[in-house]
Amino acid sequence: MYVTDEGEELFVIDSHLHLWDASEENVTHEGGEQFIQCFYDYHTGFTPEEKQWSLEEYRKYGADRMAQDLFGNAAVDMGIFQPTYLSDFYADGFNTIEDNAELAERYPERFVLNGRFDPRDGEAGMRELERQKEEYEIQGVKLYTAEWNGDSKGWRLDSQESFEFLEKCSELGIENIHPHKGPTIRPLNRDAFDVADVDDAATSFPELNFVVEHVGLPRLDDFCWIAAQEPNVYGGLAVAAPLAVHRPRKFGEIMGELLFWLGEDRLLFGSDYALWNPDWLVETFMDAELTDEQKDEYGVEFGVDTKRKILGENAAELYDIDIEAKKEEFRSDPLTQEFGLADHYAGGTSATPADD
Amino acid sequence: MSPDRSRAEGTAAATPAAVRERLDRVTDPELDTSIVELDYIEDIRITADADADGDAVFVAFTLPTAWCSPAFAWMMAGDARDAVASLPGVAEVTVELREHMHEREINRGINEGLPFGEAFPDADGDVAPVRAELDRKARIARQHDATGALLDAGLTHDQIADLAVEAVRVDEATDGTVPVWLRDGAVAVAVDAEPLVRYREKAAATGLLDDEHPELFRTPEGDPFDGEAFELVRRRTRLAGVNMGGQGTVCDALNDARHADDRPPLSTFSD
């Protein structure tokens, strides 16, 4: 939890986590090597110098290190795993549900484990989605529309095949759809991260929530306009949040736009770990402010109440997490015992803070 | 006239400054910012060749990520080549994109004058629609600056929404302002020229100056609007500008990361 100087607690759900393996042994295609190196550019470009990892530790960090990074200084209370397969690049996949399960199953009360589908996998993909639901009780899927698959270099969320899978999600009660719509990491000229295909999918499946990861960057304009019209479209702040490190003014502008077009109830914090590390990013996010000029221009607030929603409450709403019950549970769960966090969760014994 | 003599006379042949000036007209289409300003240019070499009918110019550039869209890289390489080739006294231009996942295809394609589809047989489609979409976004972002200048000059929402193409006389610019005619040509107001000139350039590129509507300013979709919709359209144009600057911020940080002294080599993959 983040605790303000006034002693106010903010429960943190990091909505975008990975446990990946880009070790050289796992890379089977030039694209896999380029991919991790591109990630590393993002890491070093937006991480304070003293917090940067070496490329070697970045390739494969393992479950123990990840638990330490998330919970060691209690930056995060819970996390949501978002898999990224890239099976054409990595022998055992880059960041699969099985990779993620290694940590999620160690501390089940701390994690939400999402699955994925690829409509190009057809009937086999449909069975795999059912298996993920059955085995891991997934409530959400991460979708990577720019992924290579054989001869195909991408797919669309509004295609007929995709709709069949979304239909299946609806049927299985997988309500949270997280399409990755972020900065370019794909070769050739088809814009497979273009956010436009979210529009039709969101309209066609009003019972599902579409959390657009990376808020459509570099197409923030298209994303905001779609989200302004589709109430079931949300924004995941992974990639956007680290801009606060070196580019606070630009971060303020982007937050201003997001709060103006979507409002404070439809934005979710995410570190994108291990792209960035919540052990410093949560604090950076909390310290970030809009300038007076930006507050005037956008007519929005970015204070503690807004941040509390973005850091945890909005994700809790989507994933049926009872924050107060969790805080109670975390006073003595295995992770708290392992990391010595009992004192951290002992404060604020009453569920409602006293009025000033 | 040989290039050597023309240089001696101080006229036609290329200088690095002249080459840079031409390259400055080339934009990163996603950012709508000059590739010179963005510091992409790594090397300019000019070789005078008395036997040929002009100089040979070599330009090398690097983009912020190796995965930067090949279509954008292709556009920049092609535009750079065309821009430099338009310099008097230049007979031959070679561009070299460095450290890009598709540098080989792009360098060969651009320098041999191939169409995109031939350089990238796997690509589905041409760069033309990509360029059109980026021009459209640049047009929207530039509209924000242009309408901001008109607001500063005291025009009302209705006046700006109704402004006809020919009411803005960019060809009559003086002292950094252009006359904008209002009330059916009854009065002219002097308005900061640069944002209007820049807007018109992209309005032309996106076909808005000669379509069926007389209005200069449009919604992002290209439709005319009235004074009541002015605020919403203006917020959308602001958003387009913020988006563009946001991408610039990301590219900038990636560029710095990429060129840091302790950066490991780009790829260690081998079959």
For chains A and B, count residue pairs whose Cβ atoms are closer than 8 Å. Answer: 129
Q: Can you say how many angstroms the Cα of residue A340 is from the centroid of all Cα atoms in its chain?
A: 26
Whether cis (ω within 30° of 0) applies to the bond prior to A218 is yes
Nearest CB partner across the interface for A33, out of B120, B257, B267: B267
Query: CA-CA distances (angstroms) from residue A317 to A140, A209, A314, B23?
Result: 13, 11, 5, 52
Q: How far is B185 from chain A (nearest CA, A)?
A: 33
pLDDT band for B252, please (50, 70, 90 cuts).
confident
Instruction: Give DSSP secondary structure letters for A202-265.
Output: HHH-TTSEEEEEGGGTT-HHHHHHHHHH-TTEEEE-TTTTTHHHH-HHHHHHHHHHHHHHT-TT
Q: How far is A106 from chain B (nearest CA, A)?
A: 34
Q: How far is B131 from chain A (nearest CA, A)?
A: 11
Q: Which of B239, B256, B261, B267 to mutate to test the interface with A (most CBs of A within 10 A)?
A: B239
Q: Is the pLDDT of residue A350 over 80?
A: no
pLDDT band for A38, please (50, 70, 90 cuts).
confident
* pLDDT score of A342: 95
Mean confidence (pLDDT) of chain A = 93
B24-39 pLDDT, tens digit per residue, is: 999 998 889 999 999 9
B194-247 pLDDT, tens digit per residue, is: 999 999 999 999 999 999 999 999 999 999 999 999 999 999 999 999 998 777
What Rg do the C-alpha atoms of chain A give, in angstroms? 19
Q: Which residue of B has its CA nearest to A242?
A: B250
pLDDT band for B267, please (50, 70, 90 cuts).
low
Assigned token pair, B147: 């309408």
pLDDT band for B99, please (50, 70, 90 cuts).
confident
Contact A273, A280 (CB under 8 A): no
A238-280 pLDDT, tens digit per residue, is: 888 888 888 899 999 999 999 999 999 999 999 999 999 999 9
* pLDDT score of A283: 95
What Rg do the C-alpha atoms of chain B give, in angstroms? 22
Q: How far is B8 from chain A (nearest CA, A)?
A: 45
- Mean pLDDT over B165-185 rounds to 91
Contacts of B53-56 spanning 24+ positions with Cβ under 8 A: B53/B3, B53/B91, B54/B3, B54/B13, B54/B89, B54/B90, B54/B91, B54/B92, B55/B3, B55/B13, B55/B14, B55/B89, B55/B90, B55/B91, B55/B92, B56/B90, B56/B91, B56/B92, B56/B93, B56/B94
- Mean pLDDT over A70-85 rounds to 96
What are the sequence ranges of the domains in chain A? 1-113+269-275+301-346
Task: Tell me how far apart the alpha carbons of residues A43 and A47 are, in angstroms, rounded to a whole number.
Answer: 6
Q: Which residues of B touch A42 (CB under 8 A)?
A: 254, 257
Q: Is A30 exposed, middle or buried (0-12, 13-18, 19+ CB in 10 A)?
A: middle
Q: Is B62 exposed, middle or buried (0-12, 13-18, 19+ CB in 10 A)?
A: buried
* pLDDT score of B36: 96
pLDDT band for A217, please (50, 70, 90 cuts).
confident
A94-104 pLDDT, tens digit per residue, is: 999 999 999 99
Assigned token pair, B37: 């300003």
Q: Which residues of A touch B (CB under 8 A)?
A: 24, 27, 30, 32-35, 37-38, 40-46, 55, 153, 183-191, 217-221, 224-225, 239, 243, 246-247, 250, 253-254, 256-257, 260-261
- Please, what sign has the CA dihedral across residues A344, A347, A352, A353? negative
* pLDDT score of A188: 36
Contact A221 B239 (CB under 8 A): yes
Lowest mean pLDDT among A61-65, B125-129, B147-151: B125-129
- Mean pLDDT over B38-63 rounds to 89
Helices (H), chain A: 30-45, 55-59, 62-71, 97-104, 122-136, 160-172, 197-204, 220-229, 243-246, 248-261, 278-287, 292-298, 304-308, 314-318, 323-329, 334-339, 342-346
Nearest CB partner across the interface for B246, out of A46, A191, A254: A254
A108-160 pLDDT, tens digit per residue, is: 999 999 999 999 999 999 999 999 999 999 999 999 998 999 988 889 999 99
Contact B67 A217 (CB under 8 A): no
Q: What percent of chain B has pLDDT over 70?
A: 87
Q: Is the pLDDT of residue A8 over 90?
A: yes
Q: How far is A295 from chain B (nearest CA, A)?
A: 14
Q: Which residues of A touch B127 (CB under 8 A)?
A: 189
Q: Is the pLDDT of residue B11 over 60?
A: no
Contact A187 B125 (CB under 8 A): no
Nearest CB partner across the interface for A34, out of B66, B124, B239: B66
Nearest CB partner across the interface for A38, out of B66, B120, B269: B66
What are the sequence ranges of the domains in chain B? 3-125, 129-250
Q: Is the pLDDT of residue B159 over 50?
A: yes
Task: Tell me how far apart the alpha carbons of residues A233 and A231 are, in angstroms, rounded to a whole number.
Answer: 6
Q: If one looks up domain B3-125 in CATH, what number appears? A: 3.30.300.130
Q: Which residues of A touch B125 (CB under 8 A)?
A: 189-190
Nearest CB partner across the interface for B253, out of A187, A246, A254: A246
Mean confidence (pLDDT) of chain B = 87
Contact B246 A33 (CB under 8 A): no
Contact B249 A250 (CB under 8 A): yes
Contact A224 B260 (CB under 8 A): no
Q: Which residue of B has its CA nearest to A56?
A: B264
* pLDDT score of B271: 45
Close Cβ partners of A329 (under 8 Å, ≥ 6 residues apart): A109
pLDDT band for B66, please (50, 70, 90 cuts).
low
Reported ipTM:
0.88
Task: Tell me how far apart the alpha carbons of residues A258 and A309 are, in angstroms, rounded to a whole number.
Answer: 14
pLDDT band for A206, please (50, 70, 90 cuts).
very high
Task: Tell me how far apart the alpha carbons of residues B222 and B227 are, in angstroms, rounded to a whole number.
Answer: 16
* pLDDT score of A192: 74
